[in-house]
Structure 1
Amino acid sequence: MELDHIFIFTHQAQQVATALQSFGLSEGTANVHPGQGTACRRFFFQNAYIELVWVINEDEIKHSEIKRANLWERSQYEFTNYCPFGFCFRTEQPSDHAIRLVFEDGWRYYSVYLPQGQFANIASNEAFPVEPMLFEMPFFGLAPKDYPQQKRQPLTHANGFQELTKVTITLPPVNDLSSAMKKVLHESILHSSQGNTYLVTLEFDDGKQGQQQNFTPLIPLVISW
């Protein structure tokens, strides 16, 4: 399973983006999710990207088709205890026009901002609020370094980061995990640990330099390299 991007809900997108820029990351284009009630700022790397997501339309995020994914609850994680993270995976499709899905028990989200007939396949783990949102984009299998010219994003960063090589998500203690989460932990670069608060640690370039930057409490994010 190839990780495509990570989203983190925040109420301080401007401050977080500024902190990441000061840290040495080059920002890509921002984005809005029509009908979903969210917007994002993005930072791209060779094989994946990070989204800082916030709510711009409370009515849409609460009442649209995406409601099942608990995005509103995730955006208010300080009060709801829902996980504020999401992980999207990209999948290469067979050439015979069949659709091969990673999350076989998932549900299809046909967004107005996706081309007609295309959808995001969202894992059915909504009964596990401490888990991140897990989903895949079956019709877009390119890493940022392979984007066509019209979609190219800045991939050169002052601190030299190239690839995201490991992701560790800290979750509150739970008795069990969903089948989708178990699959992700077994087949991707995502790992999990237990702790008192949510945290995601992103390791770049195999952590060869042995350094780390902690962005909490501004956002539950640690970057190591």
Structure 2
Amino acid sequence: MKFEFDHLFIFTDIGAPEADRLVSLGLVEGTSNSHPGQGTTNRRFFFRNAMLEVLWVCDPEEARSELIRPTHLWERWANRQSGACPFGFCLRSTTPDRDSIAFPSWAYRPPYLPAPLNIAVGTNSSVLTEPWLFQTPFGQRPDRFSAERAQPLEHPIGWQEITRVELVSPAADLPSPALQAAIDTDRIGLRVGAEYCVELGFDREVQGNRVDFRPGLPLVVSW
């Protein structure tokens, strides 16, 4: 397996009040971080093998700047409830050199990353009906973080590992080459549906439980 699922982000309202339901259900929130120069900030929930991020634009001027414009993050966030896909999927390489990229990409060098680091962004970044695809050179399982980076991984609800990721999309019938390449890794599933949604499965879904976070979050979780 050359690639693993690293994390998912969902665009939300400012402050991500939609994520409060995750907390009330029994998830322990990790630290948040901001992305200076990109104009975004987040709330994050960590599991042993991956992370769930809720993300919003906190500085529209930065998000619309010349450097950030090719990502189309501003348009994606601003139109998340009017046709733009509200998700981003990050994969990580498991090869020793970590240089293998899962999909056709271009090098994005946001101001918050020290040189020469960059993020590989899918060539479908301008296709607003598809998820924003990206891969970082420093992706790692959260249960392997160093002590100074460690995040809470134990949750009262008991979720441990993300074992299924499936995108439901009204535009799934004709994926771009970049999205198809991501699907071909078998880390993300894709099927047609009337509205954008992501289904996450935890721990092989052996308990047979399910919760639907819509309409607040376009997210369905099974465990």
Structure 2, gaps ≥5 residues long? none
Residue 12 of structure 1: CA displacement? 5.5
TM-score by length of 1: 0.92
Change (3 A) 1:191 1:131: same
Match of 2:131 in 1: 132
Q: Percent identity over the alignment?
A: 40
- What amino acid is the match of 2:136? M
Structure 1, gaps ≥5 residues long? none
Match of 1:122 in 2: 121
Residue 72 of structure 1: CA displacement? 1.2
2:4 and 2:94 in contact (8 A); partners too = no
2:172 and 2:190 in contact (8 A); partners too = no
1:83 and 1:130 in contact (8 A); partners too = yes
Partner residue of 1:189 out of 187, 190, 193: 187
- d(CA) in 2 for partners of 1:220 and 1:94? 35
Give the alignment's Cα RMSD to 1 decimal: 1.7
Partner residue of 2:88 out of 86, 89, 100: 86
Where 1:17 maps in the other structure, the secondary structure is helix
More helix by share: 1
Match of 1:198 in 2: 196
Residue 35 of structure 1: CA displacement? 0.7
Partner residue of 2:62 out of 29, 42, 60: 60
Match of 2:100 in 1: 100
1:39 equivalenced with 2:37 (yes/no): no
Equivalent residue pairs, number? 221
- What amino acid is the match of 1:42? R
Where 1:166 maps in the other structure, the secondary structure is strand
Change (3 A) 1:61 1:12: closer
Residue 206 of structure 1: CA displacement? 0.8
- What amino acid is the match of 2:100? R
- d(CA) in 1 for partners of 2:139 and 2:16? 30
Residue 175 of structure 1: CA displacement? 4.9
Change (3 A) 1:192 1:19: same
- What amino acid is the match of 1:57? D
1:25 equivalenced with 2:23 (yes/no): no
- d(CA) in 2 for partners of 1:195 and 1:102? 25
1:38 and 1:53 in contact (8 A); partners too = yes
- d(CA) in 1 for partners of 2:181 and 2:80? 27
1:48 and 1:164 in contact (8 A); partners too = yes
TM-score by length of 2: 0.92
